[in-house]
Copies of this chain bind each other. A is one copy, B any other.
């Protein structure tokens, strides 16, 4: 493996160049873990200038937190590692034979490449739904959803036709995985607590929140008893759960749902998408340039050391990696998996430079968490299954722990504490539209 040579012809050490594409949990953990290695030079590429704490994005979408509360500038997180360079750019291709990444504005040579570009939404081939039913992956998505939620209440307040008003006060969330459950729960809280004194013509407690799931229960990856507890908490917040329900159509005014042999059309102005994911474009690039094969949603099926088949110097971590852990089931696309994979790759690179071998990646399950509303969450730590207030406390502290690691976001904790007692939530801004009174979402533009 000559690319791991660490001395040039003058006998001076030449740093080993690691290029990491993507500043999410996987890429960032790899960069941080390599940041103290003197023989290594790291370049982290990201389209955005910040790391986003995606597990809390639904709190931005529902007006509890501001985007700045859950984002940290990548440069600021990594500024103390002098061997880490951050480049705001986009990787569009890879030339494995020449050890090069092609960026939007240049070419970057690498000795080791780590691809961590994640996934985005998938609409199961119905891409026209994307405009009507936004998903929740980026800050812009969250602001868009926030705008739609709060504008729906504003329009309902002015609407005199009871049927139309009802459509504005009907919210449909498609998909009852963690994101869907958390969104629906937060909507329930808004309607029943935060907003209940704020309107004069409508009673926000009459808001209808529907959570649609194709499988037979909410939170399908969790143990059944936690799904039951989650469903109960959702019900307490006024959320109606429909399982074994498949969306067959979405328009600006309706959602059509098939349940067993019946088809129902729901009048609604707000549909939120939390159903499917699709791997980012780098998966396809790797499939074209290497022997990598992709799974059904476009993720790269990786070797036991997370490398790409036939490419010992290219690794995939995080949501973009399809890693068969036990049986055929890939590891889920959650932050702890990405973090552990990023840390593993960093260790592997350091070991290789020392001529040592590292055993295959092994994910140690830290459990899973989902929050259904204030005081209610479900926690599955394997040896411990919890729901309710105690689970919520665990959820709060687990998230604060990670947020603080990135940016000392003490402020978030205080904001939460404040929100907890006031049940208000101060970030309910309807923003980023040329004309905030334009009720059509399409063509919303910056002024």
Contacts and interface: CB of A to CB of B under 8 A. Distances in A.
Contacts of A447: 138, 140-141, 144
B411 A150 contact: no
Interface in A188-240: 195, 197-200
A341 interface: no
Interface string A61-89: 00001111101110110011000011111
A446 B140 contact: yes
Contact of A67 (B49, B66, B157): B66
User: How many subunits of this chain does the assembly comprise?
Assistant: 2
A157 B87 CA distance: 8
A58 to B, nearest CB: 15
Contacts of A9: none
A360 interface: no
A407 B424 CA distance: 10
Contacts of A199: 75
A410 interface: yes
A418 interface: yes
B76 A424 contact: yes
A118 to B, nearest CB: 15
Contacts of A364: none
A12 interface: no
A409 interface: yes
A93 interface: no
Nearest to A144: B446
A48 interface: yes
A68 B75 CA distance: 23
Contacts of A143: 431-432
Interface string A126-143: 000000000000111101
Interface string A421-447: 010101111111100110000001111
Given A66-B66, A105-B158, A414-B414, A88 B437 contact: yes
Contacts of A253: none
Given A88-B437, A90-B437, A68 B426 contact: yes
Given A88-B437, A90-B437, A158-B105, A50 B428 contact: yes
A362 interface: no
Given A85-B200, A411-B414, A414-B410, A431 B139 contact: yes
Contacts of A313: none
Interface string A388-416: 00000000000000000001111100110
Nearest to A194: B76
B144 A73 contact: no
Contacts of A150: 49
Contacts of A141: 447
B426 A73 contact: yes
Please list the 9 inter-chain residue pairs (A to B) with the smallest Cβ-Cβ separation, ordered nearest first. A68-B427, A66-B68, A66-B66, A75-B198, A79-B197, A88-B154, A73-B428, A79-B198, A49-B430
Given A49-B428, A106-B158, 20 more contacts: A49-B150, A66-B427, A68-B69, A68-B427, A71-B429, A72-B426, A75-B195, A76-B198, A76-B428, A79-B198, A88-B151, A89-B158, A89-B437, A140-B431, A143-B431, A144-B447, A411-B411, A411-B418, A433-B446, A445-B446
Interface of A: 47-50, 65-69, 71-73, 75-76, 79-80, 85-90, 104-106, 138-141, 143-144, 150-151, 154, 157-158, 195, 197-200, 407-411, 414-415, 418, 422, 424, 426-433, 436-437, 444-447
14 contacts: A48-B436, A50-B428, A68-B69, A71-B426, A73-B426, A80-B197, A86-B198, A88-B158, A90-B437, A105-B158, A140-B431, A409-B426, A433-B446, A445-B446
